[in-house]
Amino acid sequence: MLRRLLVSFAILAMGLCGFSLQAAIITNPASIIDHTTYITDTTNNLDWLRLDDTRTLGSSFNDVVADASLTAEGWRHASPGEITTLTFEFGSTGNTFSGINDNAGLTLAIAPFIGITDLITNPPEQVITQILGVTNEGGGAHTMFIFENSAGVQDYVGRFSFFSDFQRAPDLSHFLVRDAIAAIPEPESYAMLIAGLGLLGFMARRRK
């Protein structure tokens, strides 16, 4: 009982002194499956297209909406809420869309899975990793999210209104999602299933 009281007091003291407890960022979440060109968030049952896809990187909102290949594959713009749920899978505490944040490492954790849109090396000693993507809030309103890591240390994550459906930029892409596609078993899986069924049939005949 005394130990619990001491722990509670320590947590309270840290809060009063201006410290914050930060959840550890997860660099390889078990809930995320990497399919190379897209990822699957199994917790929220969503597929996410990589932002470095040539059909979205550098394209405007209208370009993406009019791309028949994206539509045929079921892709649509993600909502800001869906962006938040994705960051939760990487250990985000949710306080991530107001500039300098307390989720250090979030950008570099997400980047290998979702792709980066720009890598700035000027000045050479300071490498800045950026992920810039547009989402759809509905009703014609769009939001641009920026995930940025400077020199592998400090993260900046911001959320800004995005007004033009026609705006293009080389380092701007789009957060696209779709309902997760059920995994198709590999041929080896079918072979193992048939072999297993055959073995069960053989054992049943022997019992007779």
Residue 89 domain boundaries: 23-182
* 15-19, 27-31, 92-96, 200-204, range with greatest mean pLDDT: 27-31
- Segments of 73-140 assigned E as strands: 76-77, 99-100, 118-120, 128-138
Average pLDDT over residues 98-126: 82
154-162/38-41 β-pairing: unpaired
What is the structure's pLDDT at 198?
Answer: 66
Please count the structural domains in the chain. 1
What is the pLDDT at residue 187? 57
Residue 143 in any domain: the answer is yes
Q: How far apart are CA 175 and CA 64, in angstroms?
A: 11
Question: Taking all residues of the chain, what is their mean pLDDT, rounded to a whole number?
Answer: 80
pLDDT for residue 19: 37
Arithmetic mean of pLDDT, 125-147: 87
User: What is residue 15's predicted lDDT score, i.e. its pLDDT?
Assistant: 38
- Asked if the structure places residue 208 within a domain, the reply is no
pLDDT mean over 89-113: 80
The structure's pTM equals: 0.75
97 pLDDT band, cuts 50/70/90, is low
In a domain? residue 1? no
Maximal C-alpha separation, the chain: 79
Per-residue model confidence (pLDDT) at position 121: 84
Confidence (pLDDT) at 202: 57
Q: Which of 38, 153, 142, 23 is nearest to 87 (CA)?
A: 23
Residue 133 pairs in a beta bridge with: 145, 173
Distance CA 175, CA 173 (A): 7
Give the residue-averaged pLDDT of 22-45: 92
Residue 165 has pLDDT above 50, yes or no: yes
User: For residue 205, what pLDDT is reported?
Assistant: 67
Strands 38-41 and 32-34: antiparallel
Residue 193 lies in a domain: no
Q: What is the mean pLDDT of residues 4-20?
A: 35
In the 8-state DSSP scheme, what is residue 3? H
Tell whether 101 is covered by a domain. yes
Is pLDDT at 170 greater than 60 in this prediction? Answer: yes
Residue 7 lies in a domain: no
Whether 169 is covered by a domain: the verdict is yes
**Would 131 be classed as within a structural domain?**
yes
